[in-house]
């Protein structure tokens, strides 16, 4: 897929932004919509029609729901809402879960139903959730139906966050679709944010991924307890810097276009509980499930038993949303169980112990979760979890593990520091210090830092032809 290469993005952006800046304000939505379709069609020439179908379907469903409500036909409005949800979930279910279901049926009943083997449309998990939130909010009378098809098309197909989020609800940007302004300050801030995200992805996530791939590729007899934990630790850093890097790039590109997208990460590895972790990780997905699934189910308003069931159901869905494999279901239930336990009694206990122990507790559970997330094959997942529990064929530690740790210690320190607020705080203090002396000096220094980050990231990109984002497959 063309989306696997960041180099394509660099070929696309100069042409697009040149056209976008030259386009009159009234025509910018059309330029953005058509540009987004070209961007998507370049990698998914057939599935762009699927995205257009979803766009057309929910555009008209939104209008039909609003007209039904205005005329007092609430039952008809509810029918249109159900129709919209069924269409979206049917598309998502067919392309994402059809082969998983047939495989499960074959395994349970010994049948031989052939799989469809259809490639998963890139970004379908994200844009279906966005369009569903739109029709639901129209039904709730929280937003007005968008009558301009091009503006609505921009919301669905907008290329910066189309592929891997953040998940942008319509009500977050409805006014920005018609009233946004492209300013020099916004473009400058956007470029900085884009550079940060690019550096996270290329200089940190990709390098962490190489270490993880090396360690987890060892045969079972070489798998040690320490080695498995170290490998999963590097995977944890890989997925964080990969996904948060994409979100930073999307937010930065949005600012360059005049949009303000929601934040998606807030230093999740600083969390001191599982609850705290999920307030910091993939924030827009958590907000979506809370607003459109957990609260409508009753949330915590119908007693403790119902709250626990609601949590487990929501986290089962969260796991399945990430992929059509059993390991994702286990991953979702793993966190659902711990979140329920924390709400029932664990949080009150955790608040009584020192913060360092709370942090260790949270990170151990998160790393165990990432072990489940990273292994889609049942046999390999069992070996990894068994090794992390202390039962590894290779013993506690091996020379290979010590070599990987020593040779990648500098990278590990960077990963640890980069996942904390320390670099941002340090940069702010340095900037403030130079501002006291000279605003020009501060700007020159800031430009130089971001320029160096961009140069090194680009150099690594040119040297590597394969730079996939992990969340492209979700």
Considering the domain architecture, whether residues 164 and 213 belong to the same structural domain is answered as: no
Considering the domain architecture, whether residues 175 and 194 belong to the same structural domain is answered as: no
Distance CA(85)–CA(105), nearest Å, equals 26
Helices (H), 323-438: 326-341, 347-350, 355-374, 378-388, 399-407, 409-418, 422-437
pLDDT band at 466 (very low <50, low <70, confident <90, very high): low
Which of 157-161, 183-187, 208-212, 426-430 is least confident? 426-430
Considering the domain architecture, whether residues 29 and 125 belong to the same structural domain is answered as: yes
Are 242 and 469 in contact by the 8 Å Cβ rule? The answer is yes
Q: How far is CA 235 from CA 77, 228, 364, 401, in A?
A: 46, 10, 14, 15
Considering the domain architecture, whether residues 294 and 207 belong to the same structural domain is answered as: yes
- Torsion of Cα atoms, 341 then 343 then 348 then 353, to 10°: 60
**Has residue 294 been placed in a domain?**
yes
Which of 68-72, 214-218, 335-339 is least confident? 214-218
**Has residue 464 been placed in a domain?**
no
Q: Is 325 left (phi over 0), alpha (psi -120 to 50) or beta?
A: beta
Calculate the CA 313 to chain-centre distance. Answer: 20
Last residue of a domain, one of 146, 180, 214: 180
Average pLDDT, the chain: 89
Tokens matching residue 81: 């809402």
Considering the domain architecture, whether residues 152 and 236 belong to the same structural domain is answered as: no
pLDDT at 5: 54
Catalytic residues: 322
Considering the domain architecture, whether residues 131 and 240 belong to the same structural domain is answered as: no
Say if residue 340's pLDDT is above 50: yes
Greater pLDDT, 297 or 100: 297
Which of 42-56, 212-226, 256-270, 460-474 is least confident? 460-474
| DSSP of 408-448 | THHHHHHHHHHTSSHHHHHHHHHHHHHHHH-HHHHHHHHHH
pLDDT at 472: 62
Considering the domain architecture, whether residues 157 and 296 belong to the same structural domain is answered as: no
- H/E stretch holding 133 reads helix 124-139
**Has residue 121 been placed in a domain?**
yes
**Has residue 448 been placed in a domain?**
no
- Tens-digit pLDDT profile for residues 216-228: 888 878 889 999 9
**Has residue 277 been placed in a domain?**
yes
pLDDT band at 2 (very low <50, low <70, confident <90, very high): very low
Considering the domain architecture, whether residues 204 and 127 belong to the same structural domain is answered as: no
Q: Measured on CA atoms in the order 100, 103, 108, 114, is the torsion positive or negative?
A: positive
Considering the domain architecture, whether residues 272 and 166 belong to the same structural domain is answered as: no
- Tens-digit pLDDT profile for residues 132-151: 999 999 999 999 999 999 99
Q: How far is CA 170 from CA 65, 133, 137, 198, 204, in A?
A: 16, 7, 8, 26, 32
Distance CA(461)–CA(474), nearest Å, equals 23
Q: How many domains does the chain have?
A: 2
pLDDT band at 61 (very low <50, low <70, confident <90, very high): very high
Considering the domain architecture, whether residues 174 and 268 belong to the same structural domain is answered as: no
Q: Please give the average per-residue pLDDT across 425-454, as a whole number.
A: 79
Last residue of a domain, one of 180, 197, 223: 180
**Has residue 439 been placed in a domain?**
no
Say if residue 1's pLDDT is above 60: no
Helices and strands, counts by H and E, the chain? 23, 0
**Has residue 474 been placed in a domain?**
no
Which of 261-265, 414-418, 464-468 is least confident? 464-468
Q: Please give the average per-residue pLDDT across 107-129, as a whole number.
A: 85
Tokens matching residue 384: 């990894």
Quote the DSSP letter at residue 353: S
Considering the domain architecture, whether residues 190 and 108 belong to the same structural domain is answered as: no
Distance CA(367)–CA(73), nearest Å, equals 50
Q: Which of 86, 83, 177, 168 is nearest to 134 (CA)?
A: 168
Q: Please give the average per-residue pLDDT across 1-28, as a whole number.
A: 77
Q: Please give the average per-residue pLDDT across 69-83, as a whole number.
A: 96
Last residue of a domain, one of 115, 146, 180: 180
% of the chain exceeding 70 in pLDDT: 95
Considering the domain architecture, whether residues 129 and 233 belong to the same structural domain is answered as: no
Say if residue 108's pLDDT is above 90: no
**Has residue 309 been placed in a domain?**
yes
Provide the domain limits for residue 66.
Answer: 2-180
Are 236 and 269 in contact by the 8 Å Cβ rule? The answer is yes
Backbone Cα Rg of the chain: 23
**Phi, psi at 163, each rounded to 5°:** -85, -40
């Amino acid at each position: 897929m063309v989306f696997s290469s960041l180099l394509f993005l660099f070929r696309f952006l100069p042409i697009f932004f040149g056209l976008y800046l030259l386009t009159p304000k009234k025509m910018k939505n059309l330029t953005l919509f058509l540009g987004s379709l070209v961007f998507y069609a370049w990698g998914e020439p057939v599935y762009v029609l699927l995205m257009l179908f979803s766009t057309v379907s929910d555009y008209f469903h939104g209008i039909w729901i609003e007209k039904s409500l205005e005329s007092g036909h609430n039952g008809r409005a509810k029918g249109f809402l159900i129709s919209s949800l069924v269409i979206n979930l049917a598309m998502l279910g067919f392309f994402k879960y059809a082969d998983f279901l047939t495989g499960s049926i074959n395994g349970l009943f010994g049948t031989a139903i052939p799989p469809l083997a259809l490639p998963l449309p890139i970004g379908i998990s994200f844009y279906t959730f966005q369009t569903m939130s739109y029709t639901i909010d129209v039904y709730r009378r929280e937003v007005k139906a968008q009558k301009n098809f091009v503006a609505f098309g921009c919301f669905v197909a907008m290329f910066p966050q189309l592929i891997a989020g953040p998940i942008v609800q319509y009500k977050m940007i409805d006014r920005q679709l018609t009233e946004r302004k492209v300013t020099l300050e916004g473009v400058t801030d956007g470029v900085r944010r884009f550079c940060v995200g690019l550096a996270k992805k290329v200089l940190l996530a990709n390098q962490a991924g190489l270490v993880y791939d090396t360690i987890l590729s060892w045969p079972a007899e070489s798998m040690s307890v320490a080695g498995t934990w170290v490998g999963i630790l590097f995977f944890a850093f890989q997925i964080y810097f990969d996904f948060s890097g994409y979100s930073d790039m999307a937010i930065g590109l949005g600012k360059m276009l005049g949009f303000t997208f929601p934040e998606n990460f807030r230093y999740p590895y600083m969390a001191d509980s599982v609850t705290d972790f999920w307030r910091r990780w993939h924030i827009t997905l958590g907000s979506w499930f809370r607003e459109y699934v957990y609260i409508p189910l009753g949330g915590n308003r119908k007693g403790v038993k119902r709250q626990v069931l609601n949590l487990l159901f929501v986290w089962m869905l969260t796991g399945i949303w990430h992929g059509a494999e059993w390991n994702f279901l286990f991953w979702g239930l793993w966190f659902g169980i711990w979140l329920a336990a924390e709400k029932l009694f664990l949080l009150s206990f955790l608040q009584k112990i020192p913060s360092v122990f709370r942090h260790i507790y949270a990170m151990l559970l998160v790393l165990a979760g990432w072990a489940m997330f990273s292994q889609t094959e049942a046999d390999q997942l069992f070996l990894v979890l068994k090794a992390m529990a202390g039962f590894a064929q290779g013993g506690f530690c091996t020379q290979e593990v010590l070599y990987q740790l020593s040779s990648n210690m500098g990278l590990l320190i960077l990963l640890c520091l980069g996942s904390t607020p320390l670099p941002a705080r340090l940069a702010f203090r340095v900037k403030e210090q130079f501002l006291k002396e000279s605003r020009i000096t501060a700007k020159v220094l800031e430009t130089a830092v971001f320029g160096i980050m961009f140069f090194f990231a680009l150099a690594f990109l040119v040297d590597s032809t394969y730079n996939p984002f992990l969340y492209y497959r979700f």
